């Protein structure tokens, strides 16, 4: 088992993102997977509700600059993309 990502869910990253990627939702998805929940249905639910996939990220870094927890957001979005968009 890996490590849970300490995201507070504040959404500062999403507000800073020019693509409005729901980063907190995707981080929560990774944490849910870590805890044994079904990732596929969680991913599909986020995409259906928010209409933006992790692949929309162009690595501008604005999310990481805005993150109060200093998380590696772009890396984690890439993880979600590799799991569900490849």
- How do residues 17-36 score in pLDDT, each as one tens digit? 999 999 999 999 999 999 99
Is 1 part of any domain?
A: no
Is 7 part of any domain?
A: no
pLDDT bin (cut points 50, 70, 90) of residue 1 is: low
pTM as predicted? 0.93
Is 33 part of any domain?
A: yes
Is 6 part of any domain?
A: no
Identify the domain containing residue 66 by its residue range: 12-84
Is 3 part of any domain?
A: no
Total domains, the chain: 1
pLDDT bin (cut points 50, 70, 90) of residue 39 is: very high
- Phi, psi for 67 (deg, rounded to 5): -70, 120
Is 40 part of any domain?
A: yes
Q: What is the mean pLDDT of residues 52-73?
A: 97
Is 4 part of any domain?
A: no
The string of DSSP codes covering the chain is -----------HHHHH-TT---HHHHHHHHHHHHTT--HHHHHHHHHHHH---GGG-----HHHHH-TT---HHHHHHHHHHHH--
């Amino acid at each position: 088992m890996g490590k849970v990502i300490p995201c507070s869910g504040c959404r500062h990253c999403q507000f800073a993102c020019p693509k409005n990627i729901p980063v907190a939702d995707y981080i929560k998805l990774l944490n849910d997977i870590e805890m044994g929940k079904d990732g596929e249905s969680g991913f599909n639910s986020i995409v259906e509700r928010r209409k933006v996939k992790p692949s929309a990220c162009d690595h501008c870094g604005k999310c990481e600059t805005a993150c109060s927890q200093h998380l590696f957001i772009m890396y984690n979005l890439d993880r979600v993309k590799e799991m569900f968009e490849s």
